[in-house]
Amino acid sequence: MQVTETLSQGLKREFQVLFAAHELEDRLNSELSTLKDKAQIKGFRPGKVPVAHLRKLYGRSVMADVLQNAVNEANQRIVTDNNLKLALEPKIEFPGEQSVVERALDAKGDIAFNVALEVLPSFELADLSDVSLKKLVVTPSEAEVDEAIGRMASQGRPFSPKAEGEAAATGDRVTIDFVGRIDGTAFEGGTGEGVDLELGSGQFIPGFEDQLVGATVGEARLVKASFPAEYAAEHLAGKDAEFDVTVTAIQAPGEVTLDDAFAKGFGMDSLEKLREAISAAIGSDFEAQSRRKLKKELLDALDGKYSFDLPPSLVHQEFAAVWAQVEQDLKTRGKTFEDEGTTEEKATAEYRRIAERRVRLGLVLAQVGETADIKVTDEEVNQALIARIRQYPGQEQQVWDFYRKNAQALAELRAPLFEEKVVDHVLAQVQLVEEPVSKETLFADEDEDKADGKAEPAPASDKAD
């Protein structure tokens, strides 16, 4: 095997690999000799089939395997001898002339093929001692705990039938039958019988519940309401509808006493213990949001610290994924780029910058993790897998089998675990200043952060190439 570098430009490398005919012949004969001891062919005793006969029967198919092994061997040699870290799998290009390939398959001619690849950039890790980040801190208030307990009490409160002839009021639970129409035609999903609805809960589309206040059992009402413009079902979004509604039952809510007995219904020894648990749960939500904000601020700081060439194929791959998501979002919402105050050209440029940022940050985090020898243990992956399985009650075995048989799926579980460990490692190198803020400040711009896609880097791996 002869390997010659033919291109070294930026992060692109190309090599020509030559296998001489005599080398192909030797490899073919070696494979056929191995096959000889295993082949069972009518008319020959095991192990006694002539190699020439095997070559006549299987020469082409065995040579195809020989060539594939030769390609793999060449790729490995190129990477090892040149100390390369690949961005993506190499691209192999064989000669375009079929006659050359045919002669190689018969081991009667040399064959040369090209190997094109992209390598990961080399860069030094930046000094982060001058980076100062704010960690937003919010302590759950008594009012927030009271509100949470109020919701729990509301969901668990008893209901009892109202007196005959008494009208429905906000907060009551009504049982209704209804048929919905758009432009006089009944629509799919617009019919229901014996449906329980708590008036004022916002369970139905805006305006529907308000028009049932004051109704009595047995009364039929025509309810007119409009589906929101961004309703999940596209064929209903923004449409005006009419509903023939009959109230079949009305129940009034009972009172719930907030005491230790109430707390025991949620597995707590006392109301005070329940309040402590709720406060801790709210605090955990606040901490998670604070972490998201801090991580975004950290990634912004890292993005400003690094500037290096990016593998074009990685950027293209990341942009394609981001762009597909953008187009799907626009389609789901029935919007155009013009509706969003931009053009496709401007949006393309913006999301390409986002893709470049994500690739850059992914490479930085990967190198930080490799340099610090950060690992994700099998036990940690198993815990993540168990958490994922719990999201699919009744399908636990299928989910378990899917991940255990799919290395790529397991890698997708491992990647975020590795990334969070690397983020923790980097945070230990910067200055953190805690800043008490309000809940509103903590959650401000959350939708914008999610929409622009900048908060997350491309997946980093704990596996060195």
Residue among 404, 398, 402, 364 nearest 382 (CA): 404
Greater confidence (371 vs 33) lies with: 371
304 and 438, same domain (yes or no)? yes
pLDDT-based confidence at 300, cuts 50/70/90?
very high
pLDDT (mean) for 65-75: 90
Asked which of 68, 88, 118 is the last residue of a domain, the reply is 118
Asked if pLDDT for residue 449 goes beyond 60, the answer is: no
Question: Which residues fall within 8 angstroms of residue 218, CB to CB, at 6 or more apart?
Answer: 246, 247, 248
Among 29-38, 154-163, 189-198, 394-403, the least confident range: 29-38
- Helix 396-404 and helix 378-389, axial crossing angle in degrees, nearest 10: 150
351 and 238, same domain (yes or no)? no
Give the mean pLDDT of the chain.
90
68 and 202, same domain (yes or no)? no
Asked if pLDDT for residue 49 goes beyond 90, the answer is: no
Tokens of 108: 């009667």
pLDDT (mean) for 366-389: 94
pLDDT (mean) for 209-219: 96
pLDDT (mean) for 48-52: 71
Asked if pLDDT for residue 105 goes beyond 70, the answer is: yes
* pTM of the predicted structure, to 2 decimals: 0.74
145-189 pLDDT, tens per residue?
999 999 899 888 889 999 999 999 999 999 999 999 999 999 988
225 and 302, same domain (yes or no)? no
Asked if pLDDT for residue 453 goes beyond 60, the answer is: no
pLDDT score recorded for residue 103: 82
Give the chain's domain count: 3
Residue 145 domain flag: no
pLDDT (mean) for 427-446: 92
183 and 41, same domain (yes or no)? no
Are 114 and 107 a contacting pair, CB within 8 Å? no
pLDDT-based confidence at 465, cuts 50/70/90?
very low
The alpha helices in 231-309, defined as continuous H runs, are: 260-264, 271-305
88 and 195, same domain (yes or no)? no
